[in-house]
């Protein structure tokens, strides 16, 4: 566990866990659609500790996440081409430096800059499979790819031949989460991977309607063989953390998958959550998440 202090700062918030048996989502869910905003959950109030009050001594191999400083200066994230040209190389170097990786390759990125409430208003008059174009904080506990889904995700982006090369030896998928301005609302919470049992995880297929047109998801290959994520059942042993008012000088590395089975963290559940004192007057949370494949030599 992280180094403790006498009086750590803790907030309480409602988090959206999966209903027993998966509920209506048992056969999968449809991101980017109105139905995704209507899902029902097992809502639990849980304590979430501010890592600023526990000396920030978290390790991705033990806890599944790591907060790191951001040293680059690029900030033109509204331009996808410029982002790929300038941000992706920075992400690669960040992962090499902090994870000791031999190589890394960003596969996709999303910029989230709208509110959940505005997307709910849009979805109110839509059919379930209609597209909601707004990119909003995802207030659902999840891991972006399951163990099986991770290889399918990699293969869908780089093809079978390159996926085979990347997955020789130890490899994994890591999300680099970065705020484009100070986070005032809907911060991201991460769950200590060592507090999550394998039986707490439920594999949920990520589906898309045949006529999906959301441009934010067009960089997800339609021929992906196995696109599957973990969703999470409630367990009162889960230990949740967040970093209050994260700034553009800070980034968060989140382990999605690690092929090594030697006791290190292999996945880290995470979710956006609503602060008790946030209101509509606060600036939208604006953040970018970049999902990357990573490999190590001699492991």
| C-alpha–C-alpha distance, residues 168 and 282, integer Å | 46
pLDDT at 207: 84
β-strands 42-50, 240-242: how paired? parallel
Calpha distance 116→113 (Å, rounded):
10
Q: In what order do the strands lie in the sheet with 103-112?
A: 65-69, 250-258, 171-179, 287-295, 103-112
pTM > 0.85: yes or no: yes
- Alpha helix segments (H runs only) across 143-290: 147-158, 160-166
Please give the average pLDDT of every successive group of 10 residues along the chain, which has 299 residues.
61 97 87 92 97 87 97 90 95 97 95 96 94 94 96 91 95 98 97 98 84 50 68 98 97 98 97 94 96 90
Q: Where are the beta strands (DSSP E) in the chain?
A: 10-17, 42-50, 65-69, 103-112, 142-143, 171-179, 188-191, 201-205, 228-232, 240-242, 250-258, 270-272, 287-295
pLDDT score of 26: 86
> What confidence score (pLDDT) does residue 150 get?
95
Cα–Cα nearest to 258, from 206, 295, 205: 295
Domain extents for the chain? 10-295
Of 277, 275, 267, the closest CA to residue 242 belongs to 275
- CATH T-level fold of 10-295: Jelly Rolls (2.60.120)
- CA 275, CA 272: separation in Å to the nearest integer? 10
What pLDDT, on a 0 to 100 scale, did the predictor assign at position 251?
97
Give me the pLDDT at residue 2, please.
47
Tell me the C-alpha distance between 141 and 118, whole Å.
Answer: 20
Query: Which are the contacts of 30, defined by CB distance < 8 A and separation ≥ 6?
Result: 36, 128, 129, 207, 208, 209
């Amino acid at each position: 566990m992280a180094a403790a202090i006498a009086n750590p700062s803790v907030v309480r918030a409602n988090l959206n866990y999966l209903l027993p048996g998966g509920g209506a989502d048992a056969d999968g869910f449809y991101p980017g659609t109105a139905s995704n905003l209507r899902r029902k959950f097992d809502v639990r109030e849980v304590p979430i500790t501010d890592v600023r009050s526990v000396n920030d001594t978290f390790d991705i191999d033990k806890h599944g996440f790591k907060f790191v400083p951001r040293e680059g200066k690029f900030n033109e994230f509204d331009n996808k081409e410029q982002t790929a040209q300038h941000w992706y190389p920075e992400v690669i170097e960040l992962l090499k430096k902090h994870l000791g990786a031999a190589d890394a390759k960003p596969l996709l990125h999303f910029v989230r800059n709208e509110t959940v409430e505005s997307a709910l208003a849009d979805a109110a008059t839509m059919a379930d499979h209609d597209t909601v174009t707004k990119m909003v904080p995802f207030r659902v506990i999840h891991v972006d790819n399951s163990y099986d889904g991770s290889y399918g995700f990699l293969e869908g982006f780089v093809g079978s031949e390159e996926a085979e090369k990347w997955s020789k030896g130890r490899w994994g998928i890591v999300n680099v989460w970065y705020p484009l301005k100070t986070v005032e609302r809907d911060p991201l919470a991460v769950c200590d991977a060592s507090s999550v049992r394998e039986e707490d995880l439920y594999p949920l297929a990520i589906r898309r309607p045949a006529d999906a047109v959301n441009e934010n998801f067009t960089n997800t290959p339609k021929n992906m063989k196995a696109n599957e994520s973990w969703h999470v059942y409630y367990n009162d042993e889960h230990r949740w953390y967040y970093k209050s008012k994260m700034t553009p000088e800070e980034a968060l590395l989140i382990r999605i998958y690690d092929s090594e089975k030697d006791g290190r963290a292999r996945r880290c559940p995470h979710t956006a959550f609503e602060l008790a004192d946030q209101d509509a007057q606060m600036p939208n949370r604006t953040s970018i998440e970049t999902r990357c494949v990573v490999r190590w030599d001699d492991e």
